[in-house]
Structure 1
Amino acid sequence: MGWAACWALVRHLVHDEQLHVADRAAGLLLLLFAQPVGRISRLTTEHIIYPGQPIGLHTLGRRLKAIGVPPQLARHASLMVIASELPAVVISRLLGFHQSTCDIRPARVRASLPSTPQTSSGGEQSPSPGMRRHRR
């Protein structure tokens, strides 16, 4: 899923008042903050999402798919964009990669993103095949 598709889904969730507000909020948490469906599914009215008891993980996944938000693809796309904003040293420490491997990541991710999400479709590039784990 490209970044342009993510932005199209965000616009859809923000503006389509026919969708249940809790589904819209869950989709936006997934798309904008890359929150896992499992974490979103545990939110309740105290957290502002689902009334009463938390919703089941698989139920939420089905609800998101039904409104056009593929949970796994959307989260991965959001994580790539968020990761492109972090310094290479932070990514290398979080993932256990050598910093020199992570230095090429932001340029590749940014190259795959449209300059403005509304005007370009932008394509995704696969992660670098040369990424090697850094031994601690």
Structure 2
Amino acid sequence: MNWTTGRGLSRRLTVPLIPRQESADLLDDDERRQLLQRCLADEALPIQARAAGALILLFALQAQRIRHLTTDQLTQKGDDTYLTAGRHPVLLPPRLGALLQDLVSRSPAPLMIPHGPNTPRRLFPGRVPGQPIDGHSLTNLLNRHGISARPARNGALAALASDLPAAILADLLGLHVNTAVRWITYARRDWTDYLAVRAAERGGTVSRSVCPARHAGPGVRRDGHCE
């Protein structure tokens, strides 16, 4: 373009910069904690709304992913309950684990069509055999009970990003590492100190210039150390 403009073959073209998008639509920590407490404790709410809302508010799971969860992804080991929503099982807080186990034990609604014998049982079943609850139905259910999925998830992501390095955040939630890095940047956290502490605990060293955690990628293991 500069070549053709300099030779009078075209006019100068000005391309405006696309403003950087940041998630301004998010719950603050106080609002998120209040909603989470309500999901965990308020038995007047439908159990599906409580369970889905808690998973969004605590683990920043998308409603689309939540509706596809199956009972096989929920495992019990002794008194502990684990949910495999990303790459690895995540230990649930006892109250949330009990809530999800209660959801599993509930019988389908009277109008629910039973799933087939070889079909994975949905944690949030729909009315079509073997299919999950419709995405709009789940979102509307949450909205009716004061849980707006997008601000709730953004608030949870911001909170997690302020406490976890990008590699671990991506691994925990099944995010692309670049998405996790953007949320870490949004949360304005530098994880060099985190890596230094972890290295000191294991008797190793971390080079600040070689392995900053905010650029977590193939060179950063899941435990936060550099390879």
2:50 aligned to which of 24, 40, 43: 24
Change (3 A) 1:83 1:104: closer
Change (3 A) 1:12 1:90: closer
Q: What's the % identity of the aligned pairs?
A: 35
Higher relative contact order (CA 8 A, sep 6+): 1
Cα distance in structure 2, aligned partners of 1:104 and 1:72? 17
Indicate the structure with greater strand content. 2
Cα distance in structure 2, aligned partners of 1:70 and 1:57? 13
Alignment length (residue pairs): 104
Cα distance in structure 2, aligned partners of 1:61 and 1:33? 17
CA contact (8 A) 1:88 1:102 kept: no
Cα distance in structure 1, aligned partners of 2:180 and 2:71? 39
Cα distance in structure 2, aligned partners of 1:103 and 1:38? 23
1:55 aligned to which of 116, 120, 133: 133
Q: Which one is further off, 19-28 or 69-78?
A: 19-28
Cα distance in structure 1, aligned partners of 2:148 and 2:34? 13
Change (3 A) 1:30 1:97: closer
Q: Which segments of 5 or more consecutive residues in structure 1 lack a partner in the other structure?
A: 108-136
CA contact (8 A) 2:158 2:186 kept: no
* Matched residue, 1:6: 32
Shift of 1:7: 0.3
Following superposition, which runs of at least 4 residues in structure 1 exceed 4 angstroms of deviation? Answer: 44-47, 88-91
Structure 1-normalised TM-score? Answer: 0.63
Indicate the structure with greater helix content. 1
Change (3 A) 1:39 1:90: closer
Shift of 1:21: 1.1
Aligned-partner residue type, residue 61 of structure 1: T
Structure 2-normalised TM-score? Answer: 0.40
